[in-house]
Amino acid sequence: MKKRLSRTDLLGILRHGSYDQKTGRLDCTGKEQIDLISKKIIEFLCRRGTKPQDIKITIVSSTAPRAQESAAILAKMLGTEYTSSDVLRSGDGHKEDFEGALALYNSLKNEYDVVIFVTHVEYAMDFPNHFGKDQLAVNLGEYKVDNAGIVILDWRIHVVMDYLIPCYTSI
């Protein structure tokens, strides 16, 4: 059983990798992006003095195939499982549900050290500020989040800790 570390309470909002518009599934570049951002997340956690295998991490994905594929790659790299929630889906006739996402986060925050939502551009850009206003009483602003970019919030110290993007060379 993994030990709960009270100093590492982070929320990450990860935008899925690039995908094929026809199939809705990750393309080769998207898979590479998620692989690279997974490594950056591990590096980020290690810089904070925590190894993924020593803390409790949960990943919750949108039900869209591109988000689920992204979550599966990330979960494998972090040595954990992922679940899916329609609350994190947007586009394709789904309207973003920030209140539902807050409720989802609140249901997980006391059990896990790190919560990562794998979702879409609307959540990656706007949810950090919504979270900041609701949970922290601060305005965190809006972020332009590219495919496979992640905004990481440390809710204990009321700050956006980092915005990581994959750096890759497409072949």
Report the predicted TM-score, pTM, of the whole model to 2 decimal places: 0.87
Mean pLDDT over the full length of the chain:
83
- In the structure encoding, which two tokens stand for residue 110, read together? 């006391």
pLDDT digits (tens, 9 = 90+) for 15-31: 999 999 999 999 999 99
Q: What is the pLDDT of residues 112-140, one digit of tens each?
A: 989 999 999 888 888 888 887 887 777 77
CATH 2.40.30.10 assigned to 10-164? no
Q: What is the pLDDT of residue 22?
A: 95
Tell me the per-residue pLDDT of 35-61, one tens digit each, with 9 for 90 and over.
999 998 998 888 888 888 888 999 999
